[in-house]
Amino acid sequence: MKKLIFIFITAVTLSACSEEFLETSPKGTLLSSVYFKTESQVMESLIATYDVLGHQTGYGLAWSPYLVLSEILSDDAYAGGQDAGDGAEEDEFNRFSISSANDVVQSLWKRNYYGIYRANFTIKNAEVLENTTEEFKALVIAEAKFLRAYFYFEQVRFFENIVLPTEPQSPSEANVLQVSPAAVYNQIASDLVDAIEGLPTDAAVKGRATKWAAQALLARVYLFENGVYGTGLNANGTNVDQAYVLAQLVDLIANSGHDLVADYATIFTAAEEFGVESVFEISYEGEPVQGDWGSEQYIEGNLAAQMMGPRISGSTKYYRGWAFAIPSHKLFQDMDGDPRQPLTILTEAALLAESGTSLNTASFQYTGYYSAKYTTKLTDRGTIGTPELHNMTNYRAIRFADVLLMAAELSGDVAYINRVRARVGLAALPAYTEDALFNERRMELSGEGLRYFDVLRRGQAVAQSELTTIGIMGPNYTGDSEVYDVTFNTTTKGFLPIPQVEMDLSAGTLKQNPGYN
Partner 1 sequence: MKKYLIALFFIPIFWCAGAQEMTVIGTVTDGETRETIPGVSVLIKGTSRGTVTDFDGNYRLQVNSDDVLTFSFIGFVTEEIAVGSQTTINVELAADIEELAEVVVIGYGTQKKKVLTGAISSVDSDQITSTPVLRVEQALQGQAAGVQVQTQSGQPGERPSIKIRGIGTDYNSEPLYLVDGIAVNSIDNLNPGDIKSMEVLKDAASSSIYGARAANGVVLITTKTGGEGKTTISYSGYRGVQNAANRVELLNAEQYVELMAEGNVQDINGQLFDPNQIPANDTDWQEQLFTSNAPIESHQVSLSGGSEKASFASSISYFNQEGVIGGDRSKFERFTARLNGNFTVNEWLKWGSSVSYARIENRGVASNASFNGPYSSALNMDPLTPLYETDPDVLANDQLRYGNNPYVLNEDGVAYAISSNVRGEVVNPLAWLSLQNGRGIKDQVLGSVFAEVEPIDGLKLKSSFSIDLSYYENANYSQQFYLNSTTNFTNAPGVSNSLQRDLANQMENTAIYEKQIGAHKFNFLAGMSTLVNTGRYVGGSGQGIDPTNQDLIYLNLTIDSTQRTAGYEYEVLRASMFSRLLYDFNDRISFSATYRRDGSSNFGANNRFGNFFSFGASWVLSDEQFFPNIPGLSFFKLRTSWGQNGNDNIRPFAYAAIVDFNIAYNYANGANQGAIPAYVENQDIKWETSEQLNIGLETGFFSDRLTGTFDYYKKTTKDLLQLEIGLASIGVPLSWTNIGVMENEGFEMALNWRNQVGDFKYAIGLNAARNKNTMVEVANEAGFIQGASWALAGEVTRTIEGQPVTSFFGFKTDGIFQSTQEVFAHISSTGDPIQPNAKPGDIRYVDTNGDGVISDADRTTLGSPIPDWTFGSNLSMDYKNFDFSALIIGQFGNEIFNGINRPDIKSSNRQTWILDRWTEENPSTTVPRFTSSDPNENFTRANDLLNIENGSFVRIRNVQFGYSMPNKFLEKIKCSNWRIYVSLENLATFTKYSGPDPEVGAPVDFSGSGVSSVRDMGIDRGIYPQARTFRIGTSITF
Residues 160 to 219: which contact partner 1 by CB under 8 A? 163, 165, 168-171, 174-175, 205-208
Distances (CA, A) of 445 to 97, 161, 305, 353, 400: 26, 28, 16, 26, 11
**Closest of 355, 339, 373 to residue 269, by C-alpha:** 373
- The two most distant CA atoms of the chain are separated, in Å, by 112
102 or 341, CB closer to partner 1? 102
CA separation for the pair 370, 447 (Å, rounded): 10
Instruction: State which of residues 76, 92, 160, 300 lies at the interface with partner 1 (CB under 8 A).
Output: 300
Residues between 366 and 395 that touch partner 1 (CB under 8 A): 366, 383-384, 386-387
- C-alpha–C-alpha distance, residues 514 and 495, integer Å: 9
Residues in region 39-68 near partner 1 by CB under 8 A: 41, 44-48, 50-51, 53-54, 58-59
Cβ of residue 196: shortest distance to partner 1, in angstroms? 21
* Closest distance to partner 1 from the beta carbon of 207 (Å): 3
Residue 190 contacts residue 134 (beta carbons within 8 Å): no
> Which residue, 10 or 236, is less far from partner 1 as judged by CB?
10
Which of 361, 433, 465, 481 binds partner 1 (CB under 8 A)? It is 361
| Residue 294 binds partner 1, judged by CB under 8 A | no
Stretch that binds partner 1, among 36-44, 261-269, 338-346, 396-404 (CB under 8 A): 36-44
432/23 Cα distance (integer angstroms): 72
Cβ count within 10 A of residue 202: 12
Of residues 302 through 341, those in contact with partner 1 by CB under 8 A are 311, 313-314, 320
* Site size toward partner 1, by CB under 8 A: 108
- Output the smallest distance, CB 113 to partner 1, in A: 5
> What mask of x and - would describe binding to partner 1 in positions 467 to 496, judged by CB under 8 A?
-----------xx-----------------
Q: Residues 210, 202: contact at Cβ < 8 Å?
A: yes
Alpha-carbon span 50 to 57, nearest angstrom: 15
User: Nearest approach, Cβ of 330 to partner 1 (angstroms)?
Assistant: 22
Nearer to partner 1, 234 or 506 (CB): 506
Nearer of residues 362 and 424 to partner 1, judged by Cβ: 362
Q: 136, 244, 298, 432: which one contacts partner 1 (CB under 8 A)?
A: 298
Footprint (CB under 8 A) of partner 1, residues 64-123? 82-86, 88, 99-101, 103, 106, 109-110, 113-118, 120-121
Q: Minimal CA–CA distance to 276: which of 380, 399, 456? A: 399
d(C-alpha 7, C-alpha 331), whole Å? 89
Nearest Cα neighbor of 464 from 440, 485, 494, 444 is: 494
Amino acid at 493: K
- 211-228 and 400-411 helices, crossing angle to 10°: 50
